[in-house]
């Protein structure tokens, strides 16, 4: 899974496990520019490890992590919870590769779309998702916040959010979605 020549040739992709938590939690604290975004709950790896992806260098050092899962309330929807990439490897296609792995898994599971909810005032994730083909949804009660369709106080007072969606195509025949 290294179609992008800009990515290191020694990258390997696998499912993360709860045993990976200590080193991934440390990387989250180091890699996120905002301290309030650098938290990686252990239960995310326990609960969502089977639908998430970890990229590692040949020496075992983490290069990137994606946490995603299937929405139990909406069987045709996968949810992208987190993407984090080593700052030394950003802008080289690793984040895209991780999202493409999740999208392929979601398609194989018969899902029609992926959704991600982000703070609309963060230009990097807004551009990242838009560059991958995600569209910011115009939701009821929403308005433009920081130039992006979003809902003010979506997650509580002062917690504005934009919901982005990637259309994966029609669900596969024979699925419940």
pTM of the predicted structure, to 2 decimals: 0.88
**Confidence (pLDDT) at 3:** 47
Is 77 in the same domain as 63?
A: yes
Q: Consecutive sets of 10 residues in the chain, 177 residues long: mean pLDDT of each?
A: 66 97 94 73 96 96 97 96 94 96 97 95 92 94 90 88 92 51
Is 102 in the same domain as 127?
A: no
**Confidence (pLDDT) at 176:** 47
**Confidence (pLDDT) at 4:** 52
DSSP characters for 75-117?
TTEEEEEEEEE-GGGTTTTHHHHHHHHHHHHHHHTT--EEEEE
Question: What's the domain range around 151?
Answer: 117-168
**Confidence (pLDDT) at 122:** 87
Is 53 in the same domain as 100?
A: yes
**Confidence (pLDDT) at 171:** 64
The tally of domains found in the chain comes to 2
Q: Are 163 and 137 in contact (CB under 8 A)?
A: yes
């Amino acid at each position: 899974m290294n179609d992008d020549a800009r990515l290191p040739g020694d990258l390997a992709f696998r499912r993360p496990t709860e045993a990976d938590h200590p080193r991934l939690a440390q990387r989250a604290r180091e890699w996120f520019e905002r301290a309030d975004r650098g938290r990686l709950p252990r239960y995310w790896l326990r609960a969502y490890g089977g639908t998430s992806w970890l990229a590692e260098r040949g020496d075992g050092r983490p290069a990137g992590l994606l946490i995603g899962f299937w929405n139990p309330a909406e069987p045709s929807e996968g949810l992208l919870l987190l993407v984090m990439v080593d700052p030394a490897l950003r802008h080289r296609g690793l984040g895209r590769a991780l999202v493409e792995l999740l999208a392929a898994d979601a398609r194989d599971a018969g899902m029609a779309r992926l959704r991600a909810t982000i703070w609309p005032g963060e230009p990097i994730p807004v551009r990242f998702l838009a560059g991958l083909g995600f569209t910011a949804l115009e939701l009821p009660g929403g308005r433009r916040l920081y130039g992006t369709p979003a809902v003010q106080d979506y997650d509580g007072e002062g917690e504005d959010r934009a919901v982005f969606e990637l259309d994966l195509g029609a669900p596969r025949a024979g699925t419940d979605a």
